[in-house]
Amino acid sequence: MTTKHLRQFKDALKQDSLRMTSQRLAILDDVLGSEEHRECDDIYLSLRQKKVPVSRATIYRTLDILEKAGFVRKMDIGDGRFRYENKLAQTHHDHMICLKCGKIIEFMDREIERRQDQIASDNGFHLVKHSHQLYGLCGACQDLPAAEDQSAPASKA
């Protein structure tokens, strides 16, 4: 985590009369140190391993703050648990998810983005965000005859 990001976080907190705490700092640091799509418990376990005393409630609360401040992106891949990803490390993209092994491939298509804006505009909507996921079977999982899963599959649409 850079000094710039720290300053940015402190400013965001002050903006809302929120206080800097060791937990919030540790959560920000942990989140910025990963490029994965992690759920609350991934972050919780990572912090505990680092001997950071923190509760799930605080992680959820802090992730909300980080989302509002633009540090993380909260995403619903349809399996009932939210995933959070470092938003500073990457530009905007959407996700393609393997229904069998959970593998995630990121994609970005300027034309799709453009058309989303157009559709909103055509309908008088002020677009705030979008959620776009492609679900299927990755190359590896297509080959397996009728084999076992490796990870948490996404089951909902």
Partner DNA sequence: ATATATATGAGAATGAGACTCAATAAGGAT
Partner DNA sequence: ATCCTTATTGAGTCTCATTCTCATATATAT
Interface with a copy of itself (CB under 8 A): 73-76, 78, 82, 96, 98-99, 105, 107, 109, 111-112, 115-116, 119-120, 123-139, 142, 156-157
Please report whether residue 82 would count as binding DNA according to CB under 7 A.
Answer: yes
Q: By CB under 7 A, how many residues form the interface with DNA? A: 25
Q: Which stretch binds DNA (CB under 7 A): 9-17, 108-116, 125-133, 140-148?
A: 9-17
d(CA 100, CA 137): 6
Q: CB-based contacts of 27: which residues, under 8 Å, 6+ apart? A: 43, 47, 54, 58, 59, 62, 63, 66
**Which among 15-23, 87-95, 114-122, 131-139 is the span making contact with DNA, rule CB under 7 A?**
15-23
Q: How far apart are CA 55 and CA 58, in angstroms?
A: 5
- 101 contact choice in Mn ion, Zn ion, a copy of itself, none (CB below 5 to 8 Å, kind-dependent): Zn ion
- Which positions touch Mn ion (CB under 5 A)? 85, 106
